[in-house]
Structure 1
């Protein structure tokens, strides 16, 4: 898995984008441009890796190359749409014939951009996709007393609003998708922070501490547990 975004904390809300592209040179150019425009960009190099990441992480946009190793882009797209995945997807391809564009859209693409292209056009098309209304998207997670709106980026516990910073939101989302599962620090650093090489850091512990104080208010049954020597768990009450 290749995380191409900056490793620093971002406390402003940003759009998370997954780029599935096997061409290193083109991927680097796209990533540099989109990061400069404020996107938080993740990269997958194969279709299989892109499919796995799309299932695991909540993205706002996907940019998927049509010709990919292991699993081609249209197969990735068709699989996601069959699973009722409604995040907007822009298909990239060197194939420019009308039939090729039509097949890309029929597979579930929201837009189709042929190579070569200007970065300004890519950015404009992505902005247009973000402005489109989203219909039928499964936008709510519910785990025990917790409820999370993935579109509005809002969380509640038994109707009590939980004010979360972007990183805290992602951390809680990750835990809510894996209730009662013991999550190691390595898992959290790799999947929430997208670190490829795990540093010696107390970053996870600090954020879990802050999140616990917001989720488990005084007098409420604790939901976030520390598993000594292993990691953490979001416990669902019986």
Structure 2
């Protein structure tokens, strides 16, 4: 299941690498380089983060102080603390401050992803990798959608963004999702708020399904947004 992640890291090269690796796994990542900005994002309503990767030594508000502030305010977002301070006393201090896990620098990206998966499994909204809605089956581990069509199973390979979009739609099947809600959940905070990025991505996904001979389960609700309808039988290329 893709997560919305806040990365708090002030080393530009490391931050860039982490964002790239996490986005390759289908996650949506926002990045900030200081603790005060992270506190504003994690405690605000603009985005609902499901995981925070926090460096201990970021400026303005340290990672440990950020953890303490979050827990004191009652926020339960899982926090993975990243730091070069790897002594036992440091690990104890970080965990006592409210961090859920601790990863010492330097670390292998494979271990970071394993820690993310472990924290993901603890999340109340965690789902098994396979997501099934009607005749639509989504396999995030393979980035593939399988549709049981009258002529047999049709498999559709998905890009990272298509996987994110379909996962969110299928997890909220039947709900009307506004463009602004989709943009806030699935695109980073620097995306132009008046951009047509959501409509463009929906249009591309519909075209891909049409290329495989499939109708689109994503229907447009005029003036309100979109809805995932597993029983849809209309054209895949309906207006966005």
Common fold: TM-score over 0.5: yes
Q: Give runs of aligned pairs for residues 20-39 of structure 1, distance below 5 A.
A: 21=8, 27=9, 29-36=10-17, 38-39=20-21
CA–CA distance in structure 2, aligned partners of residues 133 and 189 of structure 1:
23
Q: Give runs of aligned pairs for residues 7-86 of structure 1, distance below 5 A.
A: 18-19=5-6, 21=8, 27=9, 29-36=10-17, 38-39=20-21, 40=23, 41-43=29-31, 45-46=38-39, 47-48=42-43, 52-54=48-50, 62-64=52-54, 65-68=63-66, 70-72=69-71, 80=78
Change (3 A) 1:72 1:108: closer
Deviation at 1:103, TM superposition (A): 7.2
Q: Do 1:186 and 1:198's aligned partners in 2 also have CA atoms closer than 8 Å?
A: no
- Superposed CA offset, 1:88-138 (max 9, x none): x6324698662552575697845333xxxxxxx34x344433368968953
SS at match of 2:53: strand
In structure 2, the gaps of 5 or more residues are 24-28, 33-37, 55-62, 122-127, 233-240
Residue 112 of structure 1 pairs with residue 103 of structure 2: yes
- Superposed CA offset, 1:137-171 (max 9, x none): 53222222222222332221224211222221111
In structure 1, the gaps of 5 or more residues are 1-14, 22-26, 56-61, 81-88, 114-120
Aligned partner of 1:173 among 164, 167, 173: 167
How many pairs align?
A: 194
- Superposed CA offset, 1:155-205 (max 9, x none): 212242112222211111121121111122222222212244644433322
Change (3 A) 1:32 1:134: closer
Aligned partner of 1:140 among 90, 113, 130: 130
